[in-house]
Structure 1
Amino acid sequence: MKTLIFIATTLITLNISAQPKQPVEYPKADIDYSGFTKLTIEAEEHRKTHMASLEDFMKWAKEKDVIVLDTRSKKMYDMKHVKGAVHLNFSDFTAGKLAKVIPSKTTKILIYCNNNLDKDEMYFARKMTPLALNIPTFINLYGYGYKNVYELDRLVPTIGSPLELAGKAVK
């Protein structure tokens, strides 16, 4: 009897596993490449009038209610960043997280990236020019509705820099 039950159970199991599986249909990913391309073109026009000279960047950074935003990795930000900058990793951009860091869509936001700071490959590793972090940062901020964004337009030395730096690696 036990043998019969074992054989029946085995045959049922084999029959079930031999049934062809129905393919699972997953919805399309929430990705809109052509929308991103259109947004990029629109942001590019806006960016032309939102480049900050070093002098303006430094002056504005001292003003009340202006945010200097560092979107590099938290590790690199903790080691060295422009003094007074707040951190939000670019890969963590969402409407909610941006709203926690930036009080209003009209707040003046100053951005910089690795390609703005020279002679410190350890903490400001240079990217290929077309892939500099400022570019997607600007486009994304613009896309989330932050239009008062200004990008530092200079390559500034980290040694003897007019920009004051802060972080664990700053002596």
Structure 2
Amino acid sequence: MKRILPFAILFLLLVGCSGSGAGSSYQQITQEEAKEMMDTQEVIVLDVREQDEYDSGHIPGAVLLPVGTIEEDTAAQVIPEKDSTVLVYCRSGNRSKTASAALAELGYTSIYEFGGINTWPYEIES
């Protein structure tokens, strides 16, 4: 029993520290919820596609931060306040999940992922 106890404690510590805790997760929302937030709140709409994709059409007011460039410095240039409400999208919803998780890991606390522009039923500008 004495041999098992340290391993049990270590296991509980590792399990407790892995996964998404406060400040290290994001919320997935519908496109309708995202549009409502855009219309009623101060939000940062973040497009995490590449420059050519952004140039071919994006959600009005969206700022570009390609998922492959997300790090502490680049994120801070686009999202200076870690408690800003950030709505994240890409083309189909895969990169936006990766980007949202990366931003949450950097300490951003109000991240909402809403999928891809390929199913966005609202206005798009180029």
Q: TM above 0.5, one fold?
A: yes
| TM-score, normalised relative to structure 1 | 0.55
Query: Post-superposition shift, 1:111?
Result: 0.8
Of 91-100 and 72-81, more deviation after overlay is shown by 91-100
What CA deviation, in whole Å up to 9, does each residue of 1:18-44 have, x standing for no partner? xxxxxxxxxxxxxxxxxxxx76x317x
Question: SS where residue 147 of structure 1 aligns?
Answer: coil
What code does the residue aligned with 1:60 have?
A: M
Quick check: 2:86–2:112 contact (8 Å CA) kept in 1?
Answer: yes
With over 3 angstroms needed to count, the CA separation of the structure-2 counterparts of 1:63 and 1:96, relative to structure 1, is farther
Query: What is the aligned partner in structure 2 of residue 52 from structure 1?
Result: 29
What CA deviation, in whole Å up to 9, does each residue of 1:100-125 have, x standing for no partner? 11120000000112115xxxxxxxxx
In 2, Cα distance between the equivalents of 1:154 and 1:91? Answer: 17
Q: Which runs of 5+ in 1 are unaligned?
A: 1-37, 117-131
What CA deviation, in whole Å up to 9, does each residue of 1:44-79 have, x standing for no partner? x834xx122222200111345310100100111011
Runs of 4+, deviation exceeding 3 Å: 153-158
Aligned-CA RMSD value: 2.5
| TM-score, normalised relative to structure 2 | 0.73
% same residue: 26
Query: What is the aligned partner in structure 1 of residue 7 from structure 2?
Result: none
By relative contact order (CA 8 Å, sep 6+), the higher-ranking structure is: 2
* Structure possessing the higher radius of gyration over alpha carbons: 1
In 1, Cα distance between the equivalents of 2:116 and 2:124? Answer: 16
With over 3 angstroms needed to count, the CA separation of the structure-2 counterparts of 1:46 and 1:157, relative to structure 1, is closer
Q: Work out which of the residue numbers 87, 90, 100 in structure 2 matches 1:138.
A: 100
- Does 1:66 pair with 2:43? yes
With over 3 angstroms needed to count, the CA separation of the structure-2 counterparts of 1:134 and 1:154, relative to structure 1, is closer
Residues 158-169 of structure 1 aligned to structure 2 (within 5 Å): 161=121, 163-167=122-126
With over 3 angstroms needed to count, the CA separation of the structure-2 counterparts of 1:157 and 1:138, relative to structure 1, is closer
Q: Work out which of the residue numbers 70, 84, 91 in structure 1 matches 2:68.
A: 91
Quick check: 2:96–2:113 contact (8 Å CA) kept in 1?
Answer: yes
With over 3 angstroms needed to count, the CA separation of the structure-2 counterparts of 1:154 and 1:81, relative to structure 1, is closer
What code does the residue aligned with 1:51 have?
A: Q
- Does 1:42 pair with 2:20? yes
In 2, Cα distance between the equivalents of 1:155 and 1:95? Answer: 25
Q: Which runs of 5+ in 2 are unaligned?
A: 1-16
What code does the residue aligned with 1:136 have?
A: T
In 2, Cα distance between the equivalents of 1:146 and 1:93? Answer: 12
What code does the residue aligned with 1:91 have?
A: G
Query: What is the aligned partner in structure 2 of residue 147 from structure 1?
Result: 109
